[in-house]
C-alpha cells in the first residue's frame, strides 16, 4: 500500500460517523383507529439498492423512508407498543389529549417512565459502561418521573390541617357523655325513641363520641327545627320505634311604635333567660330579614308553652306570641354573610383575632388572658394557640366570627384568612 492510499484510508475511517446520516423526502404520518399509527409494509421494508456509499457522498434515495407514528396513550399497555416503535427506529409523536378539567390524563404521566424502562429493556444490548445514550435515557426517565410527581400533587393535593376531636375537659362534659350513653343503651335495649336537650356544636361532637363509645353507628340524627340550625336535639330512634322530636317553635311579633328600635338577638335571648329557662331548653333564635319585627324561637315543648304564657316583652318592645308546629315554620331565606379577608403574620390566635377585631395583638392577647374568648365553645387561654379552618370564635362583648377559609400565602409570605361575623 502506497503512502497516499494509507492517508486516504485513515481519513475515511475517521469519517465513518457520516455514513448513518441521511436526508428524507419528508415524514409520512399515518394513524389508525386504535391510536397506534403504522406505515404500510413498515415491518418488512428493505432499503433501496444503490445505497452504497462512495466516499462521503450519501445517496438520498438509498435510505429507508422516515416513518412517524401518532400515538394517543389511553392505557398502560400502550407503553409496550410505543417501546417497540422506538426500538425499530420509528419517530413517535405522543398526543396527550385533554381531560375534563383541561389536564393531561394520568395515564400519560404514569406511562412515560414505564415507556422508557421498556425501551431500554427491549434494546438489543445494554451498555456495560456509561454512555451518552444511556445517560440520555435515564435523564429522560427522571424528567418524566418528576413531571408525574408534580402532576400527582396538583391532582391530589395534601389535605389541609384540621382541628381534631378534643375529649371532655370538664365534669359537665363528662356527665353529658355518660348521659348520652345511657340514652343510647335505653333506646336500643327497649326499642324506644329517646331525645336529648338542645346541644351546641361542641356538645354535638361529644355526643357523637359518646355514641361511638357505646357502639352506635346508625339510628340517630340531630334535629334543630330548621335547615341551618346550629343548636340541635339528638334523636336516637331505633328501627322499630316510633317517636317525634319534642321541638316546637314560638313566633314573636313586635308591637313597636313608629321610629322605635326593633329588638336584636341579644334582647330576645335576655328576655327568654329572664323567664329562668335553662339554655339547653332553647334552640336557635331566627330573625328573618324579610320579616322585620318578627322572631322565631325554637324550644323544647314545655319551654315553648312557658314562653307563650309568660313572655310579653323584649327589651322595651311589647310582643305577641304564637305556638307553631315544625310543619308550620316557613322557609327562611339564606342569610347573606359579608365576607372579609385579611393577612396575618402567623395563624396564632392573637394574630387572627387582632385582624378580625381591627385591634393590636396586645389588645387581643388581653382579651384572651381575661377569659373572654372561646374557640368552638371552649375557653381559650393561650394567645399562641393554633387556629384552623372552620373555627368559630366567640368574643364576649364583641360578637362571633367564623374562620371560613385559609386560601394560602400572599406575595409577602403572610397567611391569608377569610372570615365573617355573625
- Place 160 in a pLDDT band, splitting at 50, 70 and 90: low
Q: Tell me the pairing of strands 194-199 and 392-395.
A: unpaired
For domain 247-328, give the fold.
Answer: Alpha-Beta Plaits (3.30.70)
Q: What percent of the chain has pLDDT over 90?
A: 50
Asked if domains 247-328 and 340-421 share a fold, the reply is no
d(CA 418, CA 337): 12
Fill in the DSSP letter of residue 259.
Answer: T
Between CA 265 and CA 285 the distance in angstroms is: 7
Q: Which CATH class is domain 340-421?
A: alpha beta
**pLDDT on residue 302:** 95
pLDDT at 352 over 60: yes
Instruction: Give 263-275 pLDDT, tens digit per residue.
Output: 999 999 999 999 9
- In the chain, where the domains are located: 21-155, 171-236, 247-328, 340-421
- Return the CATH class of domain 171-236: alpha beta
| Sign of the four-CA dihedral 84, 86, 92, 95 | positive
Query: Residue 374 and residue 188: Cα distance in Å, rounded?
Result: 36
Give the separation between CA 87 and CA 272, rounded to whole angstroms. 84
CA–CA dist 108, 94 (Å, integer): 9
pLDDT value of position 211: 96
Share of the chain above pLDDT 70, in %: 66
Q: Compare 225 and 37 and report the one with higher pLDDT.
A: 225
pLDDT beyond 70 at 100: no
CA distances from 380 to 153, 372, 374 (A): 35, 8, 5
Q: What is the pLDDT of residues 207-236, one digit of tens each?
A: 999 999 999 999 999 999 999 999 999 999
Q: Mind giving me the DSSP string for 182-247?
A: HHHHHHHHHT--EEEEEE-HHHHHHHHHHHHHTT--SSEEEE-SSTT-SSEEEEE--TT------E
Q: What is the mean pLDDT of residues 10-29?
A: 46
Query: How confident is the model over 138-144, as a mean pLDDT?
Result: 54
Residue 372 has pLDDT above 80, yes or no: yes
Please say if the pLDDT value at position 397 is more than 80. yes
Statement: the pTM of the whole predicted model exceeds 0.75: no
Amino acid at each position: 500500500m502506497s503512502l497516499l492510499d494509507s492517508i486516504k484510508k485513515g481519513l475515511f475511517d475517521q469519517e465513518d460517523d457520516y455514513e448513518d446520516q441521511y436526508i428524507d423526502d419528508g415524514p409520512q404520518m399515518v394513524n389508525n383507529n386504535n391510536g397506534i399509527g403504522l406505515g404500510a409494509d413498515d415491518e418488512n421494508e428493505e432499503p433501496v439498492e444503490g445505497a452504497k456509499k462512495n466516499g462521503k457522498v450519501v445517496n438520498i434515495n438509498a435510505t429507508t423512508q422516515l416513518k412517524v407514528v401518532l400515538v394517543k396513550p389511553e392505557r398502560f399497555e400502550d407503553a409496550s407498543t410505543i417501546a417497540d416503535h422506538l426500538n425499530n427506529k420509528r419517530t413517535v409523536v405522543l398526543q396527550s389529549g385533554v381531560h375534563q378539567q383541561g389536564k393531561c390524563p394520568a395515564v400519560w404521566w404514569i406511562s412515560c417512565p414505564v415507556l422508557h424502562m421498556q425501551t431500554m429493556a427491549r434494546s438489543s444490548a445494554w451498555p456495560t459502561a456509561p454512555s451518552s445514550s444511556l445517560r440520555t435515557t435515564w435523564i429522560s426517565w427522571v424528567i418524566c418521573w418528576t413531571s408525574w410527581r408534580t402532576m400527582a400533587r396538583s391532582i391530589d393535593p395534601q389535605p389541609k390541617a384540621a382541628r381534631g376531636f378534643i375529649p371532655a375537659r370538664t365534669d359537665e362534659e363528662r356527665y353529658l357523655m355518660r348521659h348520652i350513653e345511657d340514652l343510647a343503651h335505653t333506646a336500643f335495649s327497649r326499642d324506644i325513641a329517646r331525645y336529648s336537650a338542645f346541644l351546641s356544636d361542641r356538645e354535638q361532637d361529644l355526643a357523637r363520641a359518646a355514641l361511638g363509645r357505646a357502639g352506635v353507628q346508625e339510628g340517630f340524627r340531630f334535629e334543630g327545627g330548621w335547615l341551618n340550625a346550629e343548636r340541635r336535639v339528638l334523636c336516637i330512634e331505633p328501627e322499630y320505634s316510633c317517636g317525634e322530636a319534642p321541638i316546637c317553635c314560638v313566633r314573636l311579633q313586635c308591637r313597636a311604635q313608629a321610629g322605635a328600635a326593633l329588638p336584636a338577638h341579644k334582647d330576645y335571648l335576655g328576655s327568654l333567660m329572664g323567664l329562668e329557662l335553662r339554655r339547653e331548653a332553647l334552640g336557635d333564635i331566627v330573625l328573618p330579614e324579610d320579616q322585620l319585627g318578627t322572631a322565631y324561637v325554637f324550644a323544647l315543648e314545655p319551654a315553648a308553652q312557658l314562653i307563650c304564657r309568660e313572655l310579653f316583652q323584649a327589651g322595651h318592645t311589647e310582643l305577641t306570641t304564637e305556638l307553631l308546629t315544625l310543619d308550620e315554620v316557613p322557609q327562611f331565606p339564606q342569610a347573606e354573610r359579608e365576607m372579609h379577608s385579611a393577612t396575618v403574620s402567623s395563624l396564632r390566635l392573637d394574630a387572627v383575632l387582632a385582624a378580625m377585631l381591627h385591634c393590636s395583638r396586645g389588645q387581643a392577647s388581653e382579651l384572651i388572658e381575661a377569659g373572654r374568648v372561646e374557640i368552638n365553645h371552649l375557653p381559650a387561654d393561650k394567645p399562641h394557640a393554633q387556629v384552623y379552618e372552620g373555627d368559630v370564635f366567640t368574643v364576649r362583648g364583641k360578637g362571633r366570627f367564623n374562620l371560613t377559609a385559609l386560601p394560602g400565602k400572599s406575595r409577602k409570605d403572610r397567611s391569608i384568612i377569610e372570615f365573617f361575623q355573625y
